[in-house]
Chain A
Amino acid sequence: MAPLTQNGQAPTGRRGPTAPPPILEASGLVKHFGGKRMLLKRSPLVRAVNGISMSVKEGETLAVVGESGCGKSTLGRLLIRLLEPSAGDVIYRGRNLGNLTPDELRRLRGELQIIFQDPFASLNPRMSVSDIVSEPIWLKGGSSRGERRDKVVEILRTVGLRPDMASRYPHEFSGGQRQRIGVARALASDPRLILGDEPVSALDVSIQAQIVNLLEELKERLKLTLIIVAHDLAVIRHMSDRVAVMYLGEVVELATTDTLYDAPLHPYTQALFAAIPQASAVARHSIKPLDGDVPSPTNPPSGCKFHTRCPHAKPLCNEARPQLEAVEGGRRVACHFWREIAAAGSDPRPIARPSARLEKRLALYTACQAGRAELLSHRSSTPTAKDQTC
């Protein structure tokens, strides 16, 4: 493992030139599931996370991306200590989470919160919204019933729900609204860091955009640090400052968002990008499928775990595991041959831009939504011109 100081130090575009100290540092994180002795044999050992070191900087949005079974959710949960690592440490603001007593950890829990993927499964159907949101405040202690009620009202407003909804139960809400309740619950204990585990992937596109915008606003306003675990690469590009790409329990590439998307170095990152269908007639038939399936994490390949599917694989990839080495600008990549691959170049995939007509109408759409547009015709024919504006 490379030392922690090599973690992405480059300041990101949206955050000014001085890099703040990391809020969270993980070193050598390992999580294995199973491997227990059953009656006659051992249950299979799943190597979910295999030696990951990374840091999360105060105020950034760090995305962890990968396909199902790559260990991204496990990593997220290790980082906020919802799971105990098999090996390795997580240092949160100078304190090793592994050394805390359960009591200390519970008190710290308010600062480290999570938003779950499925807003249908993650809310207790027997609790009202007000109970759901006030429970974390109550757990923190030191607040009266009246204070808690005021706080719930304030938080519901913050996430775009009406305060009178507080007495309702989860089943009375749509998916998007439920996810807002999930966000409200995470905010209730005044967290510093929130883990979003696929926070928008269960939602419809139009609702997804509402939640993405909400998370961004909250992050700005409340000075939060976000860790987003997701598989949707477009959502990640939109939301995050840095991205860690995972494959079979390992980080294969870590870079600031723009650097990564403009020129992915690891063959897996390249393959991921090449597989995304883009919503544009121009980009049609530009996806390039990768062969094969993700190998099972109970029996991962030797050496570089991606070599079984990698178009650039050479004998060395089968033998030695590549280190996550530092490249310029705080970028890190785990590939023996990234230099050769980068030098050989690949035909860059066209990134779809919205058509001119769509852009014009979209501008009109958002202007109208904000009340900054008006209807041109019919105005003279109707006396109440005011009704005719958006």
Chain B
Amino acid sequence: MAEPTDAVLTLENFSLRFAPGRNLVDDVSFSVAAGETLCIVGESGCGKSVTSLALMGLLPTPPADIVSGRATFEGRDLFQLFDSAMSDLRGSRISIIFQEPMTSLNPAFTVGNQLTETVLRHRKVDKAEAGRLALDMLRKVRIPAPEKRMSDYPHQLSGGMRQRVMIAMALVNEPKLLIADEPTTALDVTIQAQILSLIGALQEETGTAVIMITHDLGVVAETADKVAVMYAGSVVESGPAEAIFEDPQHPYTIGLMGAIPSLGRRSAKLATIAGTVPAIEAMPAGCRFAPRCPFAEPRCAEAPPLVPVGGKDDHRAACWFAPLEAHFSEVA
């Protein structure tokens, strides 16, 4: 699904491992354009967070070993940049928001101090100007009484307010790309709604490209333009959000959607995905979902390619048997 022309970030054939042997992340490609939101969805251990950390240059190598891949951002390959060049980009051109705002903010410095530092690190402005920009940003993320909050320490803020401060820090230098790694998972549902709508509004205003990493298909439906479903280190299905929800093709995507209870009236027992995600040393050859897949056949010992499905170029799935109804039938 690479659209090379207006893509802010294009990741191609990214593979990563921590120890010789199987790749923890295997041949992952995606791209995201200005103003667009790409959601990477998957369960714990699917490699979604490690991919985002690698993009930010936040994975120490070694132990991490980037086996292959190019991450093209503004004409440069992020994986080839020196640390100093990467830290110039980080916080200015690319930003990240983490799941737990309390552990990502420094408890020993005030909110204003941390925000101002972010500005001073990347822009040629004096302290007063940086403070003004920081205050502006707090206002933009709709923190009540921002002047007073500037001198607050993180522990004095609620979870939702801390995440707003994180967003303010991430966006204060107007990045081209924002990576949000489970930004609302630690928050209550009413606060999650506030944060999601805030990110959406700021994105509309600035045209920032967003990569949203989440395990919650509800959050995906609410925010995504494009979706990549990851399982055990590879993308098993990708495409426009509408196609993923209306016409899911990969058995994992289908099982995942069947496993979440709906808000509507109860209809049946939840679908389950048998077993658990395989450990890296026990990763099956071929299709990595095969051991848990109800449709697995001998052919699945060979890894299926991510190919267009459903008659659409940008909707892809990695399954030999897509669409399923063309290959399987119920017997009475």
Contacts and interface: CB of A to CB of B under 8 A. Distances in A.
Given A279-B220, A283-B221, A375-B327, A366 B271 contact: yes
Give the interface size class of chain B.
Answer: 35 or more
Contact of A273 (B254, B256, B263, B323): B263
B196 A277 contact: yes
Contacts of A357: 246-248
Interface string A262-287: 00000000011111111111111101
A234 B261 contact: yes
A272 B190 contact: yes
Nearest to B245: A281
Contacts of B325: 360-361, 364
Contacts of A271: 190
Nearest to A363: B330
A339 interface: no
B328 A364 contact: yes
B161 interface: yes
B218 to A, nearest CB: 3
Interface string B210-246: 0000011111111000000000000000000110111
B124 interface: no
Given A279-B221, A280-B221, A388-B297, A206 B328 contact: no
Interface stretch (A123-131, A289-297, A322-330): A289-297
Contacts, number: 213
A289 B191 CA distance: 8
B268 to A, nearest CB: 8
Most buried by B among A205, A235, A355: A205
A20 to B, nearest CB: 21
A352 B217 CA distance: 12
In the A-B complex, the 9 residue pairs with the smallest Cβ-Cβ separation, listed nearest first, are A277-B218, A238-B261, A279-B217, A206-B273, A209-B259, A275-B193, A368-B294, A289-B193, A277-B222
28 contacts: A68-B159, A208-B259, A209-B258, A212-B270, A234-B261, A237-B263, A258-B265, A276-B189, A277-B192, A277-B196, A279-B262, A284-B222, A285-B222, A293-B160, A293-B191, A358-B257, A362-B271, A364-B330, A365-B251, A365-B271, A365-B324, A366-B258, A369-B271, A372-B331, A372-B332, A373-B331, A390-B295, A390-B328
Given A355-B245, A368-B328, 5 more contacts: A174-B276, A279-B220, A281-B221, A358-B245, A373-B331
